[in-house]
Amino acid sequence: MKLLAIGKWLDLEKGAVITEQGKPVENVIVVYRGTASVEVNGMPRRHVTPPEFIGEVSFLTSDRASATVTATEPMRCLAWPHGELQKLLNRNLSIRFAFRAFMGSDLARKLKERG
């Protein structure tokens, strides 16, 4: 599948910082295995578990990271570099619609959790 071809697997150790609040985000990441903590302004907010996205808001808005995400245990993730992912989504409408639907449902669930 084209989407897997441009992705890269990341094996992260406990304590690895995946995104840092206020810094640029280079990848859209989906968690395959493991858990990460999400902090905003140093305050814990939630945990990310499979198959959630990390960095999807930055990809959609071109903004910097809105939170610091840190692995709380060893993790395996699939990461797509923003530029390569955007090129693929621009070339292939069916992949674009499916990928954005997956991101949209993930975002909706996260918003629902916030209350």
In order of their start, the domains of the chain are 2-114 (2.60.120.10)
- Look at residues 3, 57, 72, 73 and name the one whose alpha carbon lies nearest to residue 25: 57
Structural contact between residues 16 and 72, judged by C-beta atoms closer than 8 angstroms: no
Residue 1 has pLDDT above 70, yes or no: no
- Look at residues 71, 72, 43, 67 and name the one whose alpha carbon lies nearest to residue 55: 67
pLDDT digits (tens, 9 = 90+) for 10-63: 999 999 999 999 999 999 999 999 999 999 999 999 999 999 999 999 999 999
44 C-beta neighbours (distance < 10 Å), count: 9
pLDDT digits (tens, 9 = 90+) for 76-111: 999 999 999 999 999 999 999 998 888 888 888 888
pTM of this prediction exceeds 0.75: yes
pLDDT score recorded for residue 113: 80
Backbone angles phi, psi at 12, to 5 degrees: -110, 140
